[in-house]
Amino acid sequence: MKTVTVKNMVLGAGRTKIAVPLVAEDSDGLMRAAAQLRTLDFDLAEFRADFLKRADEADFVLAQLEKVREALPDTPLLFTFRRAAEGGSCPCGDDYYFALLLRAAESGLADIIDIELLAGDGPVGEAAAQVKAAGAAVLLCNHDFERTPPKDVIAGRLKKMEALGADICKIAVMPQSPQDVLTLLDAAYSVFQTASVPLVAVSMGRFGAVSRIAGGMFGSAMTFAAAEKAFFPPSGRFRYHCRFSNTHRKQGNNMARLTIHSVETAPEKAKPRVEAALKNNGFIPNLIGVLANAPEALAFYQEVGKLNAANSLTPGEVEVIQIIAARTNECGFCVAGHTKLATLKKLLSEQSIKASRALAAGEFDDAKLGALAAFTQAVMAKKGAVSDAELKAFFDAGYNQQQAVEVVMGVALATLCNYVNNVAQTEINPELQAFA
């Protein structure tokens, strides 16, 4: 089998190599993350450029890539830009996507360029040839965040990657049972027998941990560990630790205790709503999958959610309530989901998001939002029985009686989500993990 040599790393020979993600929203965060990586023991860094706030600006992305290379000069570097439709964070068209990948390759800053197989055989094959001509290695990949395809489908996709010019072939799938993990490993091992390039096979979620530890025995040349990042903790500092984990799914403290339904497994009454969530998000948030256990609860969440979004508060104010409620109720899933929404849709400033997550009403850069945060916290702490002074402070900030009731409505909606997630111990989707 042909190996891939990048700096001091030989992929496809010797022990299974460990890759860790490099994720941040801006330049400062990226440099902090890179500094933390320098303290860890790993083989390859994966720069997830799609998580940058300005991921849709190619010049900015390339400038950040240059900073990463300067910070990690001797580290093999994989450049990954995962589009929203492919489980990433940035929606963009083919023209931008392929042009950005080529520029990253031509810059000489990235050693390996990640290209998603489902972007189309013709464009993918052409992009692979251009990237290789520019001097970078090509990692063709495919992700299924909902299920594990049959063995022949997995094997077929890996073989197609090789045929399209991949230097490294990677597939990641979501198991619904231990048998699904065996299916992935069996498929990977069968392809490994005749493959001419290194393979990477990852089974995600709670069942898939064994594939990340023992994947090398079945032909996988690389595994993924999480240099785990927590955005905006109360201290305001970033935290990382390196552990065998799944870069595609951040695990909760325990595996989910209630079934996380897919479209196929959801009760008939819940199927249309689960399908709508998949269409609207590009993936099924695990909260939706859990709520599907009770179709009426799922309907309540979605319909009240629409009403809550249509109230007199601004979208940013709605998110302040949701983040504060989720933090108060210790629901990591909802903190991640609403942080992502507020961040990507630019509903709140970074400081306001930090203050919401820290339950720090006095640290908002907008006094009115700070008053809203204080009132929301008081409503939750006192079960609605706020003092005259607390209600007056809310009104003095510019809010009215209608909005006082709307705060309670937002808290009520959040309570359903937060409590269900806490009962289920819902795992955070890979699409949300960077905002956890």
Residues comprising the chain, all counted: 436
Same fold, 4-244 and 307-435: no
CB neighbour burial string for 80-96, b if at least 16 within 10 angstroms, e if fewer: bbbbbebbbbbebeeeb
Q: Are 254 and 242 in contact (CB under 8 A)?
A: no
What is the crossing angle of helices 315-328 and 295-309, to 10°? 140
Pick the CATH number of 4-244 from 2.40.50.100, 3.40.50.300, 3.20.20.70, 1.10.3720.10: 3.20.20.70
Convert the pLDDT of each residue in 195-248 to its tens digit: 999 999 999 877 888 888 888 889 899 988 766 433 333 333 333 334 443 333
CA torsion 214-216-219-221 (nearest 10°) is 140
Q: Is the pLDDT of residue 36 over 90?
A: no
Kindly list the catalytic residues. 143, 170
Please tell me the predicted confidence (pLDDT) of residue 24: 87
Question: What is the pTM for the complete model shown?
Answer: 0.57
Tokens representing 430?
Answer: 């890979």
Domain 307-435 has CATH 3.30.70.660: no
Q: Which residue has the tokens 């594939």?
A: 211
Convert the pLDDT of each residue in 59-80 to its tens digit: 999 999 999 999 999 999 999 9
Q: Is the pLDDT of residue 1 over 80?
A: no
Which residues fall within 8 angstroms of residue 296, CB to CB, at 6 or more apart?
A: none
Predicted confidence band at 8 (pLDDT cuts at 50, 70, 90)?
A: confident
Q: Which residue has the tokens 């930090």?
A: 354
Which of 2-16, 96-110, 156-170 shows the lowest per-residue confidence on average (mean pLDDT)? 2-16
Q: What angle do CA 203, 208, 210 make, to 5 degrees?
A: 110
Residue extents of the structural domains in the chain: 4-244, 307-435
